[in-house]
């Protein structure tokens, strides 16, 4: 009897579990349109999204690219994303999304605040996703084929996350950008991506243009609005004053020849004394050779001194000029993307004065030096 | 052997589990909403208060070792039957609220973050089954489970924190105490509902068996470790998320994202997080057990077998979120009950050693 | 009326049986205290009780013992009687099927025929001194017991007294390496079906008077010999007493294997996990006895039971103790990981596909999507299908003759695996995970069935409820395991309750010379192992 009772209870629980699970729809991965990258444009006052969706091949072997793009428009971003679901017939799933691209027109005309909220408030959207803006429309960007790998989103995001810091390009992610637009001076930046076409032929997608991505400029935003676009040299100047970014290359003259010096490491400290912000940058240089790319860690064997002092002096001057150039832009457009306001906040606390303290009112000193690594 | 008996090492691991069980989910964002980057100070203050209260409770346990009276008996012998009823009823309300909030926040973690569409009833049914099984098996099984899971939980949280910790600009915490003492104290008072997990000790008074005559040292050590972890989570969370911290519901899930090096790697961190999430389940089970003990003590019943109706009665309030927003209900209820809850959480412990002494004397000379 | 009558008779009968049982228990305890080692003395009252229950009251004074014996064994054609004249007439009675002809000839018939002046049974007993086991049964119950065990009985003329000569047939296989626990290094002897041989294998390794054996008989019809072996001054007395009491309280028709007894030794019956250890290797049994455990040898079973039992013993392999300790530690970690993996991997595969796709790394996700694009089933059904097929294959493989077994596994692997994938019925990742999980289970061979059942259950709940389901299942199983306790030993010791001294032989194993204390999780009276 006892065992019968047990069996009864077990069956009851199992039945209940199954019954309850009827209203419990697990989505198979095949029922989802798994989006890896999302491009957002403004077309005729409507939001157009272009999603790069994983598209499985037939059978166990992958034939062709593993992603396809789908575009849809809507009055809001949410509506546009939902419309992509209508097109694919699957639920749009953004949990694996690694790239957000804003089109040029959207950036110029639209406040990005609402768009960012859509992602920031989502529980499963990755805050580490790379965010950038692009020349032309995001749709064009996604519809091109990256020359070295198949997927636009994966390659662009991987490049910007891993490579940028070694080629002196500051990058940002969703979290940093969203924070920068809400805190203190409310200014931040996004990488500006351009495409360079190539004549390489793709075996998989011959109809699509083959391109390389160039992202060596940054666009500045304040309160979710576009402010200005930094030139390439200003971006290099910015990278000099930014932590965790290295790999600046300087070409200097030596005995009438051009010599390339690479700075894989730098020491950066920002202090605030007597009302003056002091940036102290020490660039650690070595001769650019085939095998010293990416040696930006501290545990590299030291070489004999090879760089004459006059070259170091030239680098110092060049770096100083780059930094000044960048700083001029900062004061001109009143934005702070090097975190000077954050420094002041940690020193004096948050107050309304600090939040609207214009860059012109902050006295700055640069001391940039160069030494051999 | 008494199936509820636990030794001091088990109590220590249980304190760690219960302490960290929930505070890495919703609490950091709630505190960030109140006091911004000073949330860790609130946490620290509340932990200090908890530690003092816990020491007093443990002292009472030590006094009680002679006659091993239950919490209810101690109250009945000292503050009369009515006093016992009031205190236990308050505890019951506290536990039910805690179970509800725990379930809601872990549901958010499991269902909203992990799964897109999880059924609340199924979730509650599963939790209730675990609680019923645990109460049937006795508190000793719960304590042993937490002892077994302790290293796993500790390591999983630690692995999740190590990498994000290296990316944290610690200067974000400066200037310390920017929110002001008043705000910090206010926040500590209003959020005290989420703390005070040492109350479990009340309901284990007669069951705790000091191992090698040590009671305070192991419990306080794990308490300190747990408290440090929670403080670290709060620090990392506010530093990483700044003004966005208050928008992010589940702190630990947001932090752990930064422990994955490459964003195309998938969220492997959630698997590690799942290991830690077992502590939330254990915490629900512990509170369920305490609520069950409250019912037993209030009604003066001693069930020979675990009473299914009582377990179902405790689980019933868990269906509230199906009809009204549980967060609103609990928030309102907690606002009304802040003072009574604060009394049982932070005033009663100061009287406990005295109450235990009196009750034991009365027991010795009836 | 008749119902009430039968009912009353039933009660009286039960009461009587209970009384006899109590008597037997009491008598056995008294006997055990008198002499700890009973192997040569078949003084077991329980036998008599069972005989009494089986044959009724046999103290019929009008018939001689021989006549009573023959009456009990009427219609048994293998009972042989031979009258020998050696001064006086003696009847030699034996069960042909249970006796060794050669022994009967050499130790009974030949010495008797050579003698011409034997008058009494004492003379006969002296004459038969060549045989090792010669004794004089005291009563009819002993006569019956000895006769059924293969002793040859020599009765005097009246048939009331007899001498029993051990002529038991030595049936059974030789001591070989047990097929269930092969080792790379270490002794290759294994237990056999004969309890006497098995005790010999133990005593061969424990040449000390502290090695004690208590013989008991279990089984109404089988009268199976059960030897409870332990080391005095090492094993906890209360545990030994409890084991003996448990064995004595077993009321069963027949005890055909030690696993029958295992169910009775398991105090609170467990649904899933066994709490009695079993081994086929004498070195393992001795190792466990040296730690304070009690070994129970059952006649007719090559599996020797050991209690108390810890879950961690499943993780330990006999070879562990003959290898380098660091190698052992690594192997144990592999075993542990593989078991965890095999139980949880299928459910995680289902959960991740159905609910938590974000967890899967992008490129792996693409691989899964490609592989399962054409599969008609949901991941949940697909996985359950793979697991059930695997379990069917395993069960079939166990029952197949070894020659067919190999071809069956080939068929299983090739036809069901490869063909199903190619036909697009099951995805390759599911087959791979099913196979990986299946192989992983065999690193803990004793618990394969239970773990495979758990794996199915967790996959089922995980498929319905996602990761919550998996966590709930894991928590419930942990709670259940943590609550188990038998013979004063917590099942999950030394991890919970935490016993730091015993971690020396937990997952990580310290060097043998450093293991100076006996495990504290197992009750024992002598904590020091060496040094």
Inspect the interface and report whether the beta carbons of B113 and A20 lie closer than 8 Å. no
Q: What is the pLDDT of residue A205?
A: 57
Give backbone dihedrals phi and psi of A48, rounded to 5 degrees, phi first.
Answer: -115, 125
Given a cut of 90, is residue C474 above it in pLDDT?
Answer: yes
3-state secondary structure chain A: CHHHHHHHHHHHHHHHHHHHHHHCCCCCHHHEEEEEEEEEEEECCEEEEEEEEECCCCCCCCCCCCEEEEEEEECCHHHHHHHHHHHHCCEEECCCCCEEEECHHHHHHCCCHHHHHHHHCCCCCCCCCEEEEECCCHHHHHHCEECCCCCHHHHHHHHHHHHHHHCCCCCCEHHHHHHHCCCCCCEEEEEEEEEEECCCCCCCCCCCCEEEEEEEEEEEEECCEEEEECCHHHHHHHHHCCCCCCCEEEEEEECCEEEEEEEEEEEEEEEEECCEEEEEEEEEEEECCCCCCCCCCCCCCCCCCCCCHHHHHHHHHHHHHHHHHHHHHHHHHCCCCCCHHHHHHHHHCCCHHHHCCCHHHCEEEEEEEEEEC
Task: Provide residues of C within 8 Å CB-CB of chain A.
Answer: 353-355, 357-358, 362, 365-374, 378-380, 421, 424, 428, 461, 463-466
Inspect the interface and report whether the beta carbons of C354 and A61 lie closer than 8 Å. no
Inspect the interface and report whether the beta carbons of B250 and A129 lie closer than 8 Å. no
Please state, in angstroms and as integers, the Cα–Cα distance from residue B246 to each residue in A188, B63, B251, following that order.
Answer: 20, 44, 9
Q: What percent of chain C has pLDDT over 70?
A: 86
C166/C108 Cα distance (integer angstroms): 9
Q: What is the pLDDT of residue C401?
A: 77
Arithmetic mean of pLDDT, C165-174: 82
Of A24, A32, A98, Cβ closest to residue C357? A32
Arithmetic mean of pLDDT, A41-60: 83
For the ranges A350-359, B281-290, C280-289, which has the lowest average pLDDT? A350-359
C83/C90 Cα distance (integer angstroms): 6
Contact B88, B300 (CB under 8 A): no
Instruction: Write the pLDDT tens digit of every residue in A229-283.
Output: 999 999 999 998 888 888 888 888 888 888 888 888 888 888 888 888 899 999 8
Inspect the interface and report whether the beta carbons of A54 and C370 lie closer than 8 Å. no
Given a cut of 70, is residue A297 above it in pLDDT?
Answer: no
Arithmetic mean of pLDDT, A193-211: 72
Give backbone dihedrals phi and psi of B119, rounded to 5 degrees, phi first.
Answer: -80, 130
Of C467, C479, C480, Cβ closest to residue B274? C467
Give which of C366, C483, C494, C521 to mutate to test B binding, by max B Cβ within 10 Å: C483
Count of CB atoms within 10 A of residue C303's CB? 21
Chain A residue with Cα closest to B246: A121
Q: What is the pLDDT of residue C31?
A: 42
Residues of B in contact with A130 (CB under 8 A): 263
C86/C115 Cα distance (integer angstroms): 6
Q: What is the pLDDT of residue A21?
A: 54
- Tokens standing for A105? 């027109």
Contact A128, A172 (CB under 8 A): no
C433/A339 Cα distance (integer angstroms): 50
| Helices and strands, number each (H, E), in chain B | 13, 2
A66 touches chain C (CB under 8 A): yes
Q: Residue-wise over C203-225: b if at least 16 C-beta within 10 A, else e?
A: bebbeeeebbbbbbbbbeebbbb
Contact C514, C530 (CB under 8 A): no
A32 touches chain C (CB under 8 A): yes
Closest-CA distance, A128 to chain B, in angstroms, reads 7
Domain range annotation of chain C: 58-166, 195-321, 325-483
Q: What is the pLDDT of residue B326?
A: 77
- Tokens standing for C49? 């009780």
Arithmetic mean of pLDDT, C257-267: 87
A32/A53 Cα distance (integer angstroms): 10
C340 touches chain B (CB under 8 A): no
* CATH match of A237-372 with 3.40.50.12780: no
B151 touches chain A (CB under 8 A): no
Chain A residue with Cα closest to B270: A124
Considering the domain B6-359, what is its CATH architecture? Up-down Bundle (1.20)
Contact C310, C220 (CB under 8 A): no
Chain B residue with Cα closest to C462: B126
Residues of B in contact with A342 (CB under 8 A): 169, 171-172
Instruction: Write the pLDDT tens digit of every residue in A167-184.
Output: 888 989 999 999 999 888
Instruction: Write the pLDDT tens digit of every residue in C423-461.
Output: 888 888 898 899 899 888 888 877 788 899 999 999 988
> Which of residues 427 through 466 in chain C touch B, CB cutoff 8 A?
464-466
- Tokens standing for A59? 């059978």
Chain A residue with Cα closest to C379: A28
Inspect the interface and report whether the beta carbons of C370 and A21 lie closer than 8 Å. no
Find the helix or strand (DSSP H, E) in which C153 lies: strand C151-155
B132 touches chain A (CB under 8 A): no
Closest-CA distance, A325 to chain C, in angstroms, reads 41
Instruction: Write the pLDDT tens digit of every residue in C171-191.
Output: 778 888 888 788 888 888 999
Give which of A28, A35, A57, A91 to mutate to test C binding, by max C Cβ within 10 Å: A28
Instruction: Write the pLDDT tens digit of every residue in C33-72.
Output: 434 444 433 334 344 444 444 444 444 446 788 888 888 8
pLDDT mean by block of 10 residues, chain B; 366 residues? 85 92 89 92 95 94 90 90 90 91 85 68 89 92 93 92 88 86 91 89 90 90 95 94 86 88 78 90 94 88 78 89 82 83 89 92 84
DSSP 8-class letter at C270: P
Instruction: Write the pLDDT tens digit of every residue in C11-21.
Output: 444 444 444 44
Chain B residue with Cα closest to A36: B264
Closest-CA distance, C234 to chain B, in angstroms, reads 23
Given a cut of 50, is residue A286 above it in pLDDT?
Answer: yes
Give which of C370, C418, C469 to mutate to test A binding, by max A Cβ within 10 Å: C370
Q: What is the pLDDT of residue C531?
A: 62
| pLDDT tier, A48 (very low <50, low <70, confident <90, very high otherwise) | very high
- Tokens standing for C443? 């690193």
Find the helix or strand (DSSP H, E) in which B156 lies: helix B139-166
Mean pLDDT of chain A: 83
Arithmetic mean of pLDDT, C2-17: 46
Chain A residue with Cα closest to C427: A60
DSSP 8-class letter at C82: E
Inspect the interface and report whether the beta carbons of B268 and C359 lie closer than 8 Å. yes
Residues of B in contact with C482 (CB under 8 A): 137, 140-142, 144-145, 148
A227/A190 Cα distance (integer angstroms): 11
Chains A–C, number of C-beta pairs less than 8 Å apart: 70
Inspect the interface and report whether the beta carbons of C476 and B281 lie closer than 8 Å. no
A176/A191 Cα distance (integer angstroms): 13
C416/C428 Cα distance (integer angstroms): 11
Residues of C in contact with A124 (CB under 8 A): 358
Find the helix or strand (DSSP H, E) in which C241 lies: helix C237-248
Mean pLDDT of chain C: 82
Inspect the interface and report whether the beta carbons of A66 and C370 lie closer than 8 Å. yes
- Tokens standing for A251? 């070409």
Give which of B133, B259, B262, B266 to mutate to test C binding, by max C Cβ within 10 Å: B266
Contacts of C among chains (3+ CB pairs under 8 A): A, B
Inspect the interface and report whether the beta carbons of A29 and C378 lie closer than 8 Å. no
Arithmetic mean of pLDDT, C295-301: 93
Lay out the sheet containing A276-287: strands in order across.
Answer: A248-254, A257-273, A276-287, A363-372
Chain A residue with Cα closest to C380: A28
Omega of the bond leading into C308 within 30 degrees of 0 (cis):
yes
Q: What is the pLDDT of residue C380?
A: 86
Q: What is the ipTM of this complex?
A: 0.94
Q: Give the CA radius of gyration of chain A.
A: 26
Inspect the interface and report whether the beta carbons of A161 and B263 lie closer than 8 Å. yes
The residues that bridge with A353 in the sheet, in sequence order, are none
B169/A170 Cα distance (integer angstroms): 17
Give which of A10, A26, A61 to mutate to test C binding, by max C Cβ within 10 Å: A26
- Report which of residues A67 and C188 the model is more confident about: C188
Chain C residue with Cα closest to A14: C461
Please name the residue that has the structure tokens 């009287």: B351
A22/A335 Cα distance (integer angstroms): 55
């Amino acid at each position: 009897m006892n065992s019968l009772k047990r069996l009864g209870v077990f069956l009851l629980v199992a039945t209940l579990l199954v019954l309850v699970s009827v209203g419990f729809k697990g989505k198979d991965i095949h029922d989802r349109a798994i989006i890896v990258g999302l491009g957002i444009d403004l077309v005729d006052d409507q939001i157009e999204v272009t999603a790069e969706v994983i598209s499985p091949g037939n059978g166990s072997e992958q034939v062709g690219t593993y992603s396809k793009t789908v575009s849809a428009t809507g009055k809001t971003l949410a509506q546009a994303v939902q419309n992509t679901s209508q097109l694919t017939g699957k639920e749009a799933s953004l949990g694996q999304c690694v790239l957000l691209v804003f089109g040029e027109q959207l950036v110029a005309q639209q406040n990005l605040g609402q768009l960012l909220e859509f992602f920031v408030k989502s529980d499963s959207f990755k805050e580490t996703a790379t965010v950038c803006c692009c020349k032309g429309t995001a749709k064009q960007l996604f519809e091109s084929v990256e020359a070295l790998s198949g997927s636009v989103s994966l390659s662009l995001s991987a490049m910007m996350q891993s490579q940028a810091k070694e080629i002196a390009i500051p990058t940002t992610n969703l979290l940093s950008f969203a924070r920068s637009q809400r805190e203190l001076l409310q200014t931040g930046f996004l990488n500006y991506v351009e495409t360079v076409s190539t004549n390489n032929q793709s075996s998989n997608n011959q109809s699509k243009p083959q391109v390389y991505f160039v992202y060596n400029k940054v666009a500045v935003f304040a309160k979710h609005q576009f402010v200005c676009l930094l030139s390439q040299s200003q971006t290099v100047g910015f990278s000099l004053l930014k932590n965790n970014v290295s790999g600046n290359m300087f070409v200097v003259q030596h005995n009438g020849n051009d010599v390339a010096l690479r700075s894989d490491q730098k020491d950066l400290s920002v202090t605030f004394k007597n009302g003056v912000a002091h940036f102290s940058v020490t660039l650690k240089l070595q001769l650019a050779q085939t095998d010293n790319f990416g040696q930006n860690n501290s545990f590299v064997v030291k070489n004999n001194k090879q760089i004459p002092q006059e070259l170091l002096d030239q680098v110092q001057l060049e770096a100083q000029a780059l930094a000044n150039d960048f700083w001029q832009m900062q004061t001109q457009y009143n934005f702070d993307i090097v975190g000077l306001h954050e420094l002041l906040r940690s020193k004096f606390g948050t107050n309304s004065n600090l939040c609207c303290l214009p860059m012109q009112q902050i006295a700055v000193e640069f001391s940039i030096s160069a030494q051999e690594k | 052997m008494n199936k509820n008996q636990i030794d001091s090492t088990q109590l220590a691991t249980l304190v760690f589990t219960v302490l960290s069980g929930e505070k890495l989910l919703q609490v950091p964002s709630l505190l960030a909403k109140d006091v911004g980057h000073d949330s860790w100070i609130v946490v620290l203050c509340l932990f200090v208060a908890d530690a003092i209260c816990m020491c007093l409770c443990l002292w009472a346990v030590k006094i009680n070792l002679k006659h091993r009276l239950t919490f209810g008996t101690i109250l009945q012998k000292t503050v009369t039957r009515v006093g016992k009823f009031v205190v236990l009823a308050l505890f019951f309300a506290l536990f039910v609220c805690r179970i509800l909030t725990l379930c809601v926040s872990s549901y958010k973690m499991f269902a909203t973050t992990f799964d897109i569409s999880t059924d609340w009833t199924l979730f509650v049914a599963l939790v209730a089954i675990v609680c019923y099984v645990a109460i049937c098996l006795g508190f000793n099984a719960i304590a042993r489970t937490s002892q077994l899971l302790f290293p796993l939980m500790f390591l999983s949280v630690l692995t999740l924190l190590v990498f994000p910790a290296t990316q944290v600009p610690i200067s974000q915490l400066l200037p310390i105490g920017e929110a002001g003492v008043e705000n910090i104290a206010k926040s500590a008072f209003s959020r005290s509902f989420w703390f005070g997990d040492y109350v479990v000790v009340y309901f284990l008074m007669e069951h705790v068996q000091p191992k090698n005559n040590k009671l305070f040292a192991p419990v306080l050590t794990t308490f300190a470790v747990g408290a440090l972890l929670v403080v670290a989570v709060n620090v990392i969370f506010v530093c990483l998320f700044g003004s966005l911290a208050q928008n992010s519901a589940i702190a630990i899930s947001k932090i752990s994202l930064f422990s994955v090096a490459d964003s195309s790697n998938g969220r492997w961190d959630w698997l590690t997080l799942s290991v830690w999430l077992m502590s939330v389940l254990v915490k629900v089970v512990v509170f369920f057990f305490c609520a069950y003990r409250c019912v037993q003590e209030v009604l003066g019943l001693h069930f020979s077998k675990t009473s299914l109706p009582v377990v179902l009665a405790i689980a019933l309030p868990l269906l509230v979120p199906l009809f009204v927003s549980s967060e609103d209900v609990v928030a309102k209820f907690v606002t009304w009950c802040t003072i009574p809850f604060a009394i049982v959480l932070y005033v009663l412990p100061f009287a406990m050693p005295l109450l235990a002494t009196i009750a034991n004397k009365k027991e010795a000379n009836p | 009326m008749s119902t009430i009558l039968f009912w009353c008779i039933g009660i009286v009968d039960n009461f009587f049986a209970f009384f006899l049982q109590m008597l037997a228990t009491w008598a056995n305890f008294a006997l055990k205290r008198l002499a700890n080692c009973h192997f040569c003395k078949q003084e077991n009252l329980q036998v008599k009780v069972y005989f009494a229950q089986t044959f009724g009251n046999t103290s019929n004074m009008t018939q001689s013992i021989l006549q009573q014996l023959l009456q009990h064994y009427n219609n048994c054609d293998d009972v042989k009687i031979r009258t020998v004249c050696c001064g006086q007439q003696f009847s030699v009675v034996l069960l042909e099927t249970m006796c060794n002809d050669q022994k009967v000839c050499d130790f009974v018939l030949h010495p008797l025929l050579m003698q011409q002046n034997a008058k009494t049974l004492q003379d006969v007993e002296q004459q038969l001194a060549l045989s090792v086991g010669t004794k004089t049964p005291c009563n009819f119950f002993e006569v019956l017991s000895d006769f059924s065990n293969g002793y040859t009985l020599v009765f005097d003329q009246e048939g009331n007294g007899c001498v029993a000569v051990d002529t038991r047939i030595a049936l059974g296989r030789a001591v070989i390496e047990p097929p269930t626990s092969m080792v790379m290094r270490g002794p290759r002897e294994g237990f056999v079906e004969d309890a006497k041989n098995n005790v010999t294998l133990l005593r061969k390794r424990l040449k000390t008077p502290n090695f004690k054996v208590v013989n008991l008989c279990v089984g109404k019809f089988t009268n199976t010999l059960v030897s409870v072996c332990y080391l005095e001054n090492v094993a906890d007395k209360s545990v030994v007493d409890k084991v003996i009491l448990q064995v004595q309280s077993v009321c069963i028709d027949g005890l055909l294997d030690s696993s029958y007894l295992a169910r009775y030794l398991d105090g609170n019956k467990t649904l899933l996990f066994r709490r009695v250890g079993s081994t086929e290797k004498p070195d393992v049994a001795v190792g466990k006895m040296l730690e304070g455990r009690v070994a129970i040898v059952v006649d007719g079973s090559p599996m020797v039971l050991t209690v108390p039992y810890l879950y961690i013993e499943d993780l330990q392999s006999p070879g562990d103790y003959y290898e380098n300790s660091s190698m052992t530690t690594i192997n144990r970690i592999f075993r542990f990981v593989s078991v965890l993996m095999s139980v949880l991997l299928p459910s995680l595969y289902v959960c991740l596909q159905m609910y938590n796709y974000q967890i899967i790394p992008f490129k792996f996700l693409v691989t899964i999507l490609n592989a399962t694009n054409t599969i008609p089933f949901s991941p949940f059904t697909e996985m359950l299908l793979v697991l059930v097929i695997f379990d069917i294959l395993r069960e079939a493989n166990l029952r197949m003759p070894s020659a067919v077994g190999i071809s069956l596994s080939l068929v299983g692997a090739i036809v069901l695996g490869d063909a199903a994938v190619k036909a697009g019925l099951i995805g390759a990742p599911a087959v791979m995970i099913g196979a990986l999980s299946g192989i992983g289970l065999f690193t803990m061979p004793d618990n394969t069935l239970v773990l495979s059942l758990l794996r199915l259950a967790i996959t089922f709940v995980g498929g319905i409820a996602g990761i919550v389901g998996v966590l709930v299942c894991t928590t419930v199983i942990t709670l259940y395991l943590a609550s188990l306790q038998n013979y004063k030993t917590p099942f999950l010791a030394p991890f919970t309750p935490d016993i730091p001294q015993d971690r020396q032989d937990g997952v990580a194993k310290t060097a043998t010379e450093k293991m100076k204390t006996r495990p504290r999780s197992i009750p024992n009276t002598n904590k020091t192992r060496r040094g």
